[in-house]
Structure 1
Amino acid sequence: MNNNVLLNVTGLHTQSVYADIRSFIDSFTSKHTQQTYERSIRIFFMWYTGKTLEELTPDDLAIKNAKFTNYQSYLRNHDVNYSNTTINNMTAAIQSLYTFLEINEYNVKSLNLKLKSLKENPEHAGSLRADEAEQMAQLVLKQRKGQEKSALIRLAYTTSFRKSSLLSLKWDDFSFKGNYYEVKVIVKGGDVHENSIPVELYKELLKIKEQPYYQQYTDNRLFHLGNKAIQAMMDTLRAELNISETRNIVFHSFRNVAVKFGTLEEAQEQLGHSNIHTTKVSYDNETKDLSNRPSMRMHNKISDDVFKSLSKEELISLILNEDSGVLMRLKMRAVEFGNQGNDKE
């Protein structure tokens, strides 16, 4: 190909990069797939070139494997806390696009985008008990910025806010309501997610302001912790508590701690889900008890009289050793019984 022809091809592509990407996206029959691919492609090129798809030229497209590997790492450390499955899907969309571009004679090599897929786990955030979460909040106090990290953990498992929302919180997002504090965050789509925290927890948050290093910040934000610091924090805490890697305990695990203490509908409000089916996945994982499935109960021949043989102290010990969700429901029932007794007097 002579230089004049090469210039003509380059000139043609300069005017049609977006049109060709648009053709690739529109080649999928599913509207959902089109939207998903377009979103993934826009995110990638904004990261890689700082441009929108409409602004791209052929010179923006070439990429080395090392750079695309960096993009995978960028997604893994993103504030949105993408799951490995989502990251694999996002990078696959770019890989597919580059195969299309190469076929259409752009100066790119689709082989440069070859990556090792991240290990996918449908339950990417393992289950964490409330007592474990609080133990972590205590242990982390001895780390650098310990008070700030401890407050972050407590606020995370109390509100169920995502990490990105927690790190963007400002002191103005809290308002006193008499016997509790209301806190609001902006989530995906611009929606507002609100929750309440006890006064005692707000006082813990205020201790962050007492730290000498905090005086350097003037942005009104509560937390000044990066993703790497939070990752290192979790790695250390897992090691100190001897938590097996198979449990897959990550920062996102704090988000589901509170759902054990309520109903499915309350869990939906707690997590800020618009679709209750999304909540059900988390709720079922957190409250699932295989030992109490019908397949087990049908063979249960233990008489109710077994409780009568226990002393008061043994019964109390039995109750207190139940999991946190069952224990909280029993406490609430106990309060109801107590109130009923008072009404009769």
Structure 2
Amino acid sequence: MNTLKNNVVGLHTGSVYEDIRTFIDKFQSIHTQMAYERHIRSFFTWFASGKTLEVLDREDLYIRNADIIKYQLFLRKHSADYSNTTINTIMAAIHSLYEFLEINEYEVNSKYAKVDVLPDDSEGAGSLYYHEAEMMADLVRKQRKGQEKSALIRLAYTTSLRKSSLLDLEWTDITKNPEDAYFLVTTIGKGGKKHTVPISSDLFKELLQIKEQDYYQKYKDNKIFHLSTTTIQSMMDSLKKEMGIPTERNIVFHSFRNVAASYGTLEEVKDHLNHSDINTTNKYYRHKMKDYSQSISLRMEDRIDEEVFQKLSREELIEVIMNQSVGVLIQMKKDAQAIMEGKGDL
């Protein structure tokens, strides 16, 4: 009789994985299920010494609040440059799981899995302009591993790849385009999406110069960059100090990704940034580069003399042109080139 009773109980007592799977599957949205599973797997890989969900024991679930706080700090320093919003989402998934486990009589206390919510940073990294990014790439050459750092910065603001993707790049991830004189950089980005971005032959040559550095000869792992996140943070801090960039601008390495937002149409920027939804592009990037100087409320008050340009010297006119925003300047260059081609001077 006892044997039969134990067998009946056993039918209703799932493994740790089965219970976690039940928790995940209770959500109707497939997207939510996938996100929660990804967050939970990543957490236990970190917390349970690399164990997968399928082999977790009840003992692996025991947690202290200090452990959860450490994981939050781990995410904040992660090379993937997680936003506060993303980290809050991840931590909420873990806390929700522990609430489920506690209700289902696991020896855990869900309140220990709760951490303070990080402040909203939906505005993301501060806006960095093209000429500032170029200046950083030049200034950093004076630092230790200067060529490597300079190439990293230039590749960052040219391709808009995330820091984690850049640091994972291997030489075999860059291939020569068979038809034209440029190269293709292929990575696996956020959400496991494959993404390919072209770069110029000049930029590829600059990357190759990293191999010529004496210290680089010790590396045999085929990776392009060998810079830690701590080194990159120190690099950014020193560059901002040298350039006098105020703290309130919130310039971080992720800001290099924003540089491309001033180029092309919204659809082109979406493709370049590898966004799935164009609304994401519009929300987080295009508004950063909005030129309020061209707003209707200002233009309607504009009563500047129509012949003001004719009163400037050549040097003064060039100075005015070069001080325009990147997007305006590029369009002016295209217009000038078209005029020159029409005159047969090119």
Range class of TM-score, shorter chain? 0.7 to 0.9
- Evaluate the alpha carbon distance shift between residue 48 and residue 131 of structure 1 in structure 2; reply closer, same or farther with a 3 A threshold: same
The residue type paired with residue 236 of structure 1 is S
Q: For residues 220-270 of structure 1, what are the alpha-carbon distances to aligned partners after superposition, in whole Å with 9 as ceiling and x for unaligned?
A: 211111222212222222222222222111111111213323222322232
- Asked whether the equivalents of residues 163 and 252 of structure 1 are also in contact (C-alpha less than 8 Å), the reply is yes
Q: In the alignment, what sits opposite 2:42? A: 43
State the alpha-carbon separation in 2 of the partners of residues 110 and 274 from structure 1: 34
State the alpha-carbon separation in 2 of the partners of residues 142 and 313 from structure 1: 32
Q: In the alignment, what sits opposite 1:208? A: 210
- Evaluate the alpha carbon distance shift between residue 29 and residue 202 of structure 1 in structure 2; reply closer, same or farther with a 3 A threshold: closer
- TM-score, normalised by the number of residues in structure 1: 0.87
State the alpha-carbon separation in 2 of the partners of residues 13 and 154 from structure 1: 58
SS at match of 2:254: helix
In the TM superposition, residue 333 of structure 1 has moved relative to its aligned partner by 1.0
Q: In the alignment, what sits opposite 2:312? A: 310
The residue type paired with residue 24 of structure 2 is I
Q: In the alignment, what sits opposite 2:32? A: 33
SS at match of 1:197: strand
- Asked whether the equivalents of residues 182 and 194 of structure 1 are also in contact (C-alpha less than 8 Å), the reply is yes
SS at match of 2:199: strand
User: Does residue 1:165 correspond to 2:165, yes or no?
Assistant: yes
The residue type paired with residue 40 of structure 1 is H
State the alpha-carbon separation in 1 of the partners of residues 168 and 13 from structure 2: 39
- Asked whether the equivalents of residues 65 and 114 of structure 2 are also in contact (C-alpha less than 8 Å), the reply is yes
- TM-score, normalised by the number of residues in structure 2: 0.87
- Evaluate the alpha carbon distance shift between residue 12 and residue 65 of structure 1 in structure 2; reply closer, same or farther with a 3 A threshold: farther
Q: For residues 142-201 of structure 1, what are the alpha-carbon distances to aligned partners after superposition, in whole Å with 9 as ceiling and x for unaligned?
A: 322222111111111111111122112222233345533332223345543222323332
- Asked whether the equivalents of residues 124 and 284 of structure 2 are also in contact (C-alpha less than 8 Å), the reply is no
Q: For residues 104-147 of structure 1, what are the alpha-carbon distances to aligned partners after superposition, in whole Å with 9 as ceiling and x for unaligned?
A: 32111223223232222112211101121122122222322222
- Evaluate the alpha carbon distance shift between residue 195 and residue 34 of structure 1 in structure 2; reply closer, same or farther with a 3 A threshold: closer
User: Does residue 1:223 correspond to 2:225, yes or no?
Assistant: yes
Specify every segment of 5 or more residues in structure 2 that has no aligned partner in the other structure, as ranges: 1-5
Q: In the alignment, what sits opposite 1:338? A: 340
- Evaluate the alpha carbon distance shift between residue 94 and residue 219 of structure 1 in structure 2; reply closer, same or farther with a 3 A threshold: same
The residue type paired with residue 82 of structure 1 is Y
Q: In the alignment, what sits opposite 1:245? A: 247
State the alpha-carbon separation in 1 of the partners of residues 117 and 128 from structure 2: 27
- Asked whether the equivalents of residues 40 and 93 of structure 2 are also in contact (C-alpha less than 8 Å), the reply is yes
In the TM superposition, residue 12 of structure 1 has moved relative to its aligned partner by 8.6
Q: Which moved more, 1:106-115 or 1:180-189?
A: 180-189
Q: Which moved more, 1:184-193 or 1:66-75?
A: 184-193
SS at match of 2:216: helix
State the alpha-carbon separation in 2 of the partners of residues 181 and 84 from structure 1: 34
Q: In the alignment, what sits opposite 2:3? A: none
State the alpha-carbon separation in 1 of the partners of residues 32 and 163 from structure 2: 27
Give the count of matched residue pairs: 337
The residue type paired with residue 296 of structure 1 is L
- Asked whether the equivalents of residues 261 and 286 of structure 2 are also in contact (C-alpha less than 8 Å), the reply is no
State the alpha-carbon separation in 1 of the partners of residues 196 and 26 from structure 2: 41
Q: In the alignment, what sits opposite 2:79? A: 79
SS at match of 1:257: helix
- Evaluate the alpha carbon distance shift between residue 28 and residue 196 of structure 1 in structure 2; reply closer, same or farther with a 3 A threshold: closer
Q: Which moved more, 1:287-296 or 1:247-256?
A: 287-296
Percent identity, please.
56
Q: For residues 4-55 of structure 1, what are the alpha-carbon distances to aligned partners after superposition, in whole Å with 9 as ceiling and x for unaligned?
A: xxx99x9899734233333433444544434332322222122222233332
SS at match of 2:307: helix
In the TM superposition, residue 277 of structure 1 has moved relative to its aligned partner by 2.5
Q: For residues 280-317 of structure 1, what are the alpha-carbon distances to aligned partners after superposition, in whole Å with 9 as ceiling and x for unaligned?
A: 23442343012222232233333533333333332222
State the alpha-carbon separation in 2 of the partners of residues 117 and 17 from structure 1: 28
Q: In the alignment, what sits opposite 1:106? A: 106
- Asked whether the equivalents of residues 14 and 57 of structure 1 are also in contact (C-alpha less than 8 Å), the reply is no
- Asked whether the equivalents of residues 127 and 289 of structure 2 are also in contact (C-alpha less than 8 Å), the reply is no
Q: In the alignment, what sits opposite 1:4? A: none
Map 1:93-172 to 2 at 5 A: 93-172=93-172
The residue type paired with residue 155 of structure 1 is L
